[in-house]
Structure 1
Amino acid sequence: MENSAASRTTQKNLVLLAVCIAAITMPFNFTAAAVALPAIGRAFDGSPMQLNWVTNAFMLTFGSFLMVAGALADSFGRKKVFIGGVASFAVLSAALTFAADLTTFDLLRAAQGVAAAAAFSGGMSALAQVFDGPARIRAFSFVGSSFGIGLAFGPITAGVMIEAFGWPTIFLLITLLASIAFILAARYMGESRNPDAGGIDWPGAISFTWALGIFTYGVLKVPQSGWSDPFVLGLFAVALLSFIAFVVIEQRVTQPMLDLSLFRYPRFVGVQLLAAAPAYAFVVLLLLLPVRFVGIDGMSEIDAGRLMIALSAPLLFLPIVAGYLTRWLSPSTICGVGLLVSAAGLFWLSHVPTGSAPWVLALPMSVIGIGISLPWGLMDGLAVSVVPKERAGMATGIFSTTRVAGEGVAVAVVTALLSALTASHLSVSTNTAEAAQHLVTGDVAGASTLLAGTSHAALIDAYSAGFSTLLLVLTTITVVAAGVVFLFLDRGDEQKDGVAPVLRAVSPGRPCR
């Protein structure tokens, strides 16, 4: 009997290991690509918009397919969806190293996002069947820590590998890790499904993904074409009509992908707004800062990766601390204070010009990381605690989709805004928009070619001024988000409108990107 119990425990731990290894690859796939973006741009000689899609394509499809992947896992089997996701993730990562051009590369990145959604949804739902009670909380905390490892050490690992072996090796490492997760899951993960699961809401899934993609494409076209361009306006009109169609579809189908009735709970709406805050206070910096350090400041990939640890290292332990703080403070209070701390770090960083010493940059980056770590591990628990208990599953799916898809949109919006702000600080009147796009992707040489009469120092000054203004905008957004948290989530009446009490035992980690 003891041997049998020990064998079951070992099997459970190996299943957890498989999901944790897969969890490490997802944020690494995002942060490593950001560090490698200047090198990828040099290798393919693509346009700034094509380079922007290297990150946007993955984030958008990842966020858009999370709820669909969860429904597939419940209907057809969590193990099938997980191992199918990690296997596809491994193959697609290897295929990136053989891409003939940047368009193909971007399409493969989009496919990676679909595979990552399947792996994440299948893995998390499988873990929920394997572990119960406090053991489930501990299991999910390990997954959260795995995401933190991918965020904290992804940039430095990518920097070392790029300088030593070239950028393709970072995707081969992802292939290796995903293959290990596949082997472990195929051998030790048991199959499970929900016998009462409904069908897949394909019309809703297609309309939602289409609307999100068209909107993001329009945002990325703005720096090049302007807000008044007929094509850009047409894209936004199509996106708006597509979102309206999505809402109409969700109101009429029997098994909607998005249960709109959840939005009658004010605190649930507040949690969705909370989900957007880290996108603007933290996630966009995972992309913008490595490009700035390598392309603008002239750091090596290794130095840039080492410096990024200052931003993401707090995620390794502070979310767990935040979980313990809920014994004395409400989660919404902790989240709001954390956002204010992040806002202070963003404001501080806005006053640090390009070319500053690494330690001068590391200090405000650490403050941002410390602040965002407090809500990072509590938001998932809030997402399910602000709706009736029987709606928790749908609430989690909506929250994850809002969060990840919102991060993809945030990256597109912030990149476009930085390009516009940089262009506004260039003194010349021609080619400024295109030159600014090159600067935003770290291509100073390309910008110099377009603006032959502009000095290197003037280009760097324009970027620095635009970056500082952008950080002030992000500071404002983060402060407003903190205000929303305090006003809408920290009400004290936990049972109002049938809302379940706020969870005190929450998972100290969440996915990124």
Structure 2
Amino acid sequence: MAHPKFHAASHATGQLSVLFTVCLAGMILPLNFVSGAVATPAIARELGGSAQALSWITNAFMLTFGCFLMAAGALADEFGRKKVFICGVAGFGLLSLLQSFSTSLLAIDLLRGAQGILAAAALAGGSAALAQEFDGPARTRAFSLLGTSFGVGLAFGPFLAGLLIAHFGWRSVFLSSTVIALLSLLTGAWRMQESRNPDAAGIDWPGTLSFTAMLALLTWALMDIPQYGLQSTQVLVMLGGAALLLVLFIGIAGLSEQQAGLMMMALSLPMLAVPLMAAWLTRWISAGVLCTSGLVLAALGLGWLSVAVDAQNLNQMIFPMLLIGLGTGLPWGLMDGLSVSVVPKERAGMATGIFSTTRVAGEGISLATVGALLAAFMHSGLAAHFSGTDVAQASQRLATGDLQQASRLLPDASVSQLQQIYAASLHHLLLCLVAITLASAVVVLFAMAGKETEPGTATTQKDLSP
């Protein structure tokens, strides 16, 4: 009688080890992403580089990460979730180590792009492995914990990066990701059960390559619009190429790094608890209503933040950012579980790949779009007060928060003037985001209306309850 109990206890311990390993790996993905953004000004001070080249520190990672999630999911199904996860985490840690020793901005940009591919492998393999290890309510709790791990990375990543940069330099930021990746491999990767889909069809290479090229051209074009204009030949060619590849695919504020990190913690701290709370609330409230409510709360937070930004009051920004984080966290812990609950377990890698691709590709495009909009608002504000050939470049520098370089390009502009223009531009951008978020809430509400009560979906709803 003791043997079955020992086996059950051993199996439960193995499940917890796998969950801890995947969550630890999940934590370093957003941590590395936001840390790269916080470290960009420090990298610029040491290595130099244009505003566009510096923006690729962030965009290269997001672009390849979003593009290869679907392919990584297919690889996990075909060759094994454990293999893909371990290769992804190990490669991610190695490239972080190489970034810490890089001596050129180009090398960092290229390594960040390659790192996005390996991050996609780690996430797709880890998510599919969790789907194999857990069932029902336990699976929902596991994915909620994975969402919380993302929240930990988002919450403490900026502060940790700012602290490391202040005391040890920007290279220590990437070294920390290497250490966490190594811990993830040592803590429980060896206890992960290998699993694959015997009927996996493999990677759609033409589709993957066309989708990647389409996103790359679109992102690059959006980044070039503030500098060259929408009607420039270069931008039009890239936008046209992105549209053609999409058709083919379908057919086939002046703060220091440490201060900035502390401010961003207000935005990310709710992610520590809200995803778990959302899974608990599905006992009484449908996932569709929770997701819609989260978007409405985020929109209210964005509107509130726009008022605080316009007043240039840093203390008043904390509570709106907390509200935005609360709204974001409600759907965060539900989306992954919903994506795998509608397909057989054997196709979990495909499901997580498709869902994560859609989400992260949207984030990458949104990031580039928001950056382009902010630079356009900056240019309009600067052009109303200053003239000269350096206005366009200064607007790009100001959009990235590089107040010092913007002041050098516009010597007639005072620091207070630039801060006012930055605040006004950010105010307009936040109002645009309010409208987009509310529109998204309406779409989600109608798209998911009645889905939980339709025949055959009761099990899905049950699985969403911890």
**TM-score, scaled to structure 1:** 0.84
Paired residue for 1:162? 165
Does 2:442 match 1:442?
Answer: no
For 2:79 and 2:348, how far apart are their aligned partners in 1?
21
Alignment of 1:55-134 (within 5 A): 55-134=58-137
For 2:140 and 2:307, how far apart are their aligned partners in 1?
41
User: In 2, are the aligned partners of 1:323 and 1:377 still within 8 Å (CA)?
Assistant: yes
AA matched with 2:406: A
Paired residue for 1:421? 377
Paired residue for 1:433? 392
Paired residue for 1:367? 323
AA matched with 2:361: A
What runs of 5+ residues in structure 1 fail to find an aligned partner?
A: 250-291, 509-513
AA matched with 2:447: F
Paired residue for 2:287? 331
For 1:486 and 1:191, how far apart are their aligned partners in 2?
38
Measured against aligned partners, the alpha-carbon deviations of 1:176-206 in whole angstroms (never above 9, x if no partner) come to 1101222345532232222121122111111
Measured against aligned partners, the alpha-carbon deviations of 1:11-47 in whole angstroms (never above 9, x if no partner) come to 3322222111111100101121222221122122111
Alignment of 1:356-435 (within 5 A): 356-383=312-339, 394-426=350-382, 427-430=385-388, 431-435=390-394
User: In 2, are the aligned partners of 1:494 and 1:502 still within 8 Å (CA)?
Assistant: no
- The answer to which of 357-366 and 408-417 deviates more is 357-366
Could you list the runs of 4 or more consecutive aligned residues of structure 1 that deviate by over 6 angstroms after TM superposition? Answer: 385-393, 498-501
AA matched with 2:72: A
Q: Which of 312, 317, 321 is the aligned partner of 2:277?
A: 321
Shift in CA distance, 150/499, structure 1 to aligned 2, threshold 3 Å: same
AA matched with 2:113: A
User: In 2, are the aligned partners of 1:86 and 1:182 still within 8 Å (CA)?
Assistant: yes
For 1:214 and 1:6, how far apart are their aligned partners in 2?
52
In angstroms, what is the RMSD of aligned CA positions? 2.4
- What secondary structure does 1:484 align onto? helix
Paired residue for 1:483? 442
Shift in CA distance, 456/507, structure 1 to aligned 2, threshold 3 Å: farther
Does 2:236 match 1:233?
Answer: yes
User: In 1, are the aligned partners of 2:124 and 2:352 still within 8 Å (CA)?
Assistant: no
Alignment of 1:346-365 (within 5 A): 346-353=302-309, 356-365=312-321
User: In 2, are the aligned partners of 1:90 and 1:174 still within 8 Å (CA)?
Assistant: yes
AA matched with 1:247: I
TM superposition shift of 1:355: 8.3
Shift in CA distance, 440/61, structure 1 to aligned 2, threshold 3 Å: same
User: In 1, are the aligned partners of 2:77 and 2:197 still within 8 Å (CA)?
Assistant: yes
Measured against aligned partners, the alpha-carbon deviations of 1:64-83 in whole angstroms (never above 9, x if no partner) come to 11111111111112111111
Paired residue for 1:453? 412
AA matched with 1:301: E
For 2:451 and 2:216, how far apart are their aligned partners in 1?
39
Alignment of 1:236-315 (within 5 A): 236-249=239-252, 292=253, 296=254, 298=255, 300-315=256-271
Paired residue for 2:36? 33
For 2:157 and 2:299, how far apart are their aligned partners in 1?
24
For 1:379 and 1:186, how far apart are their aligned partners in 2?
25
User: In 1, are the aligned partners of 2:28 and 2:180 still within 8 Å (CA)?
Assistant: yes
AA matched with 2:218: F
User: In 2, are the aligned partners of 1:346 and 1:471 still within 8 Å (CA)?
Assistant: yes
For 1:500 and 1:134, how far apart are their aligned partners in 2?
13
Paired residue for 1:265? none
AA matched with 1:43: E
Shift in CA distance, 124/159, structure 1 to aligned 2, threshold 3 Å: same
Paired residue for 2:423? 464
TM superposition shift of 1:413: 0.6
Shift in CA distance, 80/185, structure 1 to aligned 2, threshold 3 Å: farther
Paired residue for 1:264? none
For 2:137 and 2:338, how far apart are their aligned partners in 1?
18
Paired residue for 2:201? 198
Q: How many residues align?
A: 460
AA matched with 1:428: F
Alignment of 1:201-216 (within 5 A): 201-216=204-219
For 2:339 and 2:237, how far apart are their aligned partners in 1?
35
- What secondary structure does 2:284 align onto? coil
User: In 2, are the aligned partners of 1:387 and 1:499 still within 8 Å (CA)?
Assistant: no
Paired residue for 1:136? 139
Paired residue for 2:464? 506
TM superposition shift of 1:134: 3.5
User: In 2, are the aligned partners of 1:386 and 1:500 still within 8 Å (CA)?
Assistant: no
Shift in CA distance, 492/181, structure 1 to aligned 2, threshold 3 Å: closer
For 1:89 and 1:391, how far apart are their aligned partners in 2?
25
For 1:437 and 1:316, how far apart are their aligned partners in 2?
33
For 1:305 and 1:361, how far apart are their aligned partners in 2?
14
AA matched with 2:114: A
User: In 1, are the aligned partners of 2:145 and 2:275 still within 8 Å (CA)?
Assistant: no
Shift in CA distance, 97/245, structure 1 to aligned 2, threshold 3 Å: same
For 2:194 and 2:446, how far apart are their aligned partners in 1?
43
AA matched with 2:60: A
TM superposition shift of 1:241: 0.7
Q: Which of 345, 367, 377 is the aligned partner of 2:301?
A: 345
AA matched with 1:304: A
User: In 2, are the aligned partners of 1:307 and 1:362 still within 8 Å (CA)?
Assistant: yes
For 2:457 and 2:21, how far apart are their aligned partners in 1?
35
User: In 2, are the aligned partners of 1:438 and 1:444 still within 8 Å (CA)?
Assistant: yes
TM superposition shift of 1:477: 0.5
